[in-house]
Amino acid sequence: MDSNYSIYNGDCLAWFKEYKENNIDLTFLDPPFNQNKEYRYFNDNLSENEYWQFMLTALKEIYRLSKPGASIYFMQREKNTQFVLESLKNAGWTFHNLIIWKKKTSAVPCKNKFSKSYQIIAYATKGTKPTTFNKLRISPPLPAHYKYERKNGLYLTDVWDDIRELTSGYFASEEAIRNKDNSRFHKQQTPIALLLRILLSSSKRGDLILDPFAGTGTTLVTAFQLDRKSIGIEIDPKNIACITSRLNHISKGDRINKYLDDYKYTQNLHCLLKETTPVKTEPHQPLFQKTLV
């Protein structure tokens, strides 16, 4: 039994109505993008108006449930930037940054326009000032014309071009979850490195992290290793089983250790981390695993 995370199987809007106000410290919001993709339990082909009304409702509810000074990171397609910013504003959030996640993979080919190679992540807070914002210093790969590594690293900017998307096929890392036939379990699986950066930037030990579209559970897996509490809401039972499995045993591919050297120049980094990264060997059930009707 572990009190550090809770998993709920159901619709996030139903869960929002049950939860108490002013309790969440940080939310990672990565919903389906309304691209007419095939989901077993979600209509990904809504009209534009229906989709953004749904997003606005979710953003208002998350705002209500969040503490003053809480943060939200809202990931979306670049073509939806205007809708993202308008929805955040209309829900009461204070916008701070539009992060560009350049995914270090082959660009998506487009007709009559430049190919796409990034997603946006809007960073906003409840109120004008975040309760927690840690200024990270990173040690990025050296450009070809640099002979020596920068002595104290670089402050993290709003362009994240050093985190690779989990690609398919041969180039997928060991982090990519596989089915028995070696195919990808979830093609939109979010990388641990991305959530590690978000959680290190905007949370501290003991904070409560919310992921309303938990997918394969990357947010919860990362939060657990950083000594943060987390709540994951996921409508697909197969994904719930995947999340539980990942939390029962933190695999080699899921461990955050391999990315920590990227932040070695961050002041007081040890204060943001758990003293030792937990590696579970004994299966157990989460404190709450509830099906919402």
Q: What is the mean pLDDT of residues 174-179?
A: 63
Buried b (16+ CB within 10 A) or exposed e, 121-150: bbbbbbeeebbbebebbbbeeeeeeeeeee
| Residue bearing the bigger pLDDT, 283 or 188 | 188
- Whole-model pTM: value is 0.86
d(CA 143, CA 140): 9
Per-position DSSP letters for the chain, written without gaps between them: -EEEEEEEES-HHHHHHHSPSS-EEEEEE----SS----SSS-----HHHHHHHHHHHHHHHHHHEEEEEEEEEEE-GGGHHHHHHHHHHTTPEEEEEEEEE-SSPPBP-SSSPPB-EEEEEEEESSSS-S-----EE-PPPPTT--S--TT-EE--SEE-S-----SGGG--TTS-B-TTS-BS-TTPPPHHHHHHHHHHH--TT-EEEESS-TT-HHHHHHHHTT-EEEEEES-HHHHHHHHHHHHS--GGG-SHHHHGGGTTSTTHHHHS-SS-----S---EEEEEE--
23 has a pLDDT exceeding 60: yes
Q: What is the mean pLDDT of residues 247-268?
A: 92
Q: What is the mean pLDDT of residues 96-106?
A: 87
Instruction: Choose the weakest-confidence range: 29-38, 148-157, 191-200.
Output: 29-38
Tell me which amino acid residue 115 is: S
Q: What is the mean pLDDT of the chain?
A: 84
Domains of the chain: 2-291 (3.40.50.150)
1 has a pLDDT exceeding 50: no
Residues 6+ apart with CB under 8 A from 249: 280, 281, 283
Integer-rounded Cα Rg, in Å, for the chain is 19
55 contacts 13 by C-beta, under 8 angstroms? no
110 has a pLDDT exceeding 80: no
105 has a pLDDT exceeding 80: no
What is the band of 42 on the pLDDT scale with cuts at 50, 70, 90? low
